């Protein structure tokens, strides 16, 4: 089994890293302070084709990246700005890919070309104030009305809310979860203000209000009652992407720690000469290396058409913990300087904390993994 990158993947990785270092890095700190990504950066991202990362070249003009190469993109972007990486991840992994897999021909014709061009960013609206880790508690309701559906309810923690040109919305239809794609211009669709967060301050995370929104039948994703399955499928792939985001954060944190430890002088020499600092950095580097192979394996399974849900959960569980622990250690390496905004590690620390919560908390990943372990036995794994 060979997980080495092909020459084409190596070329893409360098291109992604060059773009991130040139265009994303210089915008990251200001975006965090202003709590939004600059419009010019999003235009540059679209011009590079990153909004079309998972769209096929024909007929949509997409890039058609395989899963492994796609994770290299997210890793490179998150090493500079996790908010930018999350924006592109949600658009591609949860939005574009889901519409390509489950949208009608008419829906794809209407939306995908604009999504691939970055003219319609996608948002994923599953979570509600009373339905987080348990999506079966959704209260947003859909009723059939002739050749359309009418949706009413409220969503929270909608990533890309406000930026989006299309919202993937999950609702209860006759007590079965059903998925819809709603263009942002749909009458009755109202985006709330940005939800204030500890980190990811440049990411657009909002509430969403659905006031009798009409969705034509062709905007249904899959069939009636398939929404829960569609959501889980999207989240499986999304967890591979989030693990790659965590990998980029962890890798950059180690680089920042090494740089600071080599330059910071205390007790007559660089603090990198101290065993305690070396131990912090060595442990962090080992965890980053382990994460890389978990991500690579899960993405390889996805590319191979093999089941990867268990591996995605493992990668996301380990990677999110790694990012939180590594950034915490590197703040400690920086000492007091790690606690002020003059140094970027505090932003990475704040951003990384979200990874153990979004797209399935640590505890949800443990349930998924345990379910796989006990498959075929008489033990039923429940929350």
Active-site positions? 359
Alpha helices in 20-102 (DSSP H): 25-34, 39-47, 57-60, 67-78, 82-89, 97-102
Report the interhelical angle of 227-263 vs 82-89 (nearest 10°): 160
Q: What is the H or E stretch that residue 170 is in?
A: strand 164-173
Q: 156 to each of 8, 44, 201, 306, how far by Cα in Å?
A: 40, 29, 16, 33
- The whole-angstrom distance between residue 158's C-alpha and the CA centroid of its chain comes to 12
50: tokens are 């990153």
CB contact at 8 A, 102 and 221:
yes
DSSP letter (8 states) at residue 38: -
CB contact at 8 A, 194 and 206:
yes
Integer distance in angstroms from the first to the last C-alpha of the chain?
35
Nearest Cα to Cα of residue 261 among 331, 184, 196, 191: 331
Q: For CA atoms 277, 280, 286, 292, give the dihedral sign.
A: negative
DSSP string, 209-249: EEEEEEEEGGGEESSTT-HHHHHHHHHHHHHHHHHHHHHHH
DSSP letter (8 states) at residue 126: -
């Amino acid at each position: 089994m060979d997980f080495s990158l092909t020459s084409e993947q190596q070329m893409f990785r360098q291109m992604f890293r060059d773009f991130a270092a040139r265009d994303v890095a210089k915008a990251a700190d200001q975006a965090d302070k202003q709590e939004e990504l600059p419009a010019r950066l999003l235009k540059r991202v679209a011009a590079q084709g990153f909004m079309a990362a998972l769209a096929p070249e024909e007929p949509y003009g997409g890039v058609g990246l395989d899963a492994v190469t796609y994770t290299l993109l997210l890793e490179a972007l998150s090493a500079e700005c996790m908010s930018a990486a999350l924006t592109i991840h949600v658009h591609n992994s949860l939005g574009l890919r889901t519409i390509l897999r489950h949208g009608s021909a008419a829906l794809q014709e209407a939306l995908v070309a604009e999504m691939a061009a970055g003219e319609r960013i996608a948002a994923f609206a599953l979570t509600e104030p009373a339905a987080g880790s348990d999506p079966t508690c959704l209260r947003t309701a859909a009723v059939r009305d002739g050749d359309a559906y009418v949706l009413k309810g409220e969503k929270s923690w909608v990533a890309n809310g406000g930026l989006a040109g299309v919202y993937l919305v999950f609702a209860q239809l006759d007590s079965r979860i059903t998925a819809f794609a709603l263009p942002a211009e749909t009458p009755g669709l109202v985006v709330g203000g940005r939800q204030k967060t500890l980190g990811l301050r440049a990411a657009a995370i909002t509430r969403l209000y659905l006031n009798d929104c009409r969705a034509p039948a062709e905007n249904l994703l899959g069939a009636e009652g398939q929404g829960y399955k569609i959501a889980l499928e999207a989240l499986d792939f999304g967890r591979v992407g989030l693990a790659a985001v965590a990998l980029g954060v962890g890798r950059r944190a180690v680089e920042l720690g090494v740089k600071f430890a080599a330059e910071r002088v205390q007790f007559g020499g660089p603090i990198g000469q101290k065993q305690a600092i070396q131990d912090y950095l060595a442990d962090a580097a080992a965890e980053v290396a382990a994460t890389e192979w978990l991500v690579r394996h899960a993405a390889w399974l996805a590319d191979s058409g093999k089941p990867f849900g268990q591996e995605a959960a493992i990668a996301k569980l380990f990677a999110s913990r790694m990012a939180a622990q590594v950034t915490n250690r590197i703040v400690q390496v920086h000492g007091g300087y790690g606690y002020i905004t003059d140094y970027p590690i505090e932003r990475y620390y704040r951003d990384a904390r979200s990874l153990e919560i979004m797209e399935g908390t640590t505890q949800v990943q443990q349930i998924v993994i345990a379910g796989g372990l006990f498959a075929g036995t008489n033990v039923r794994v429940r929350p």
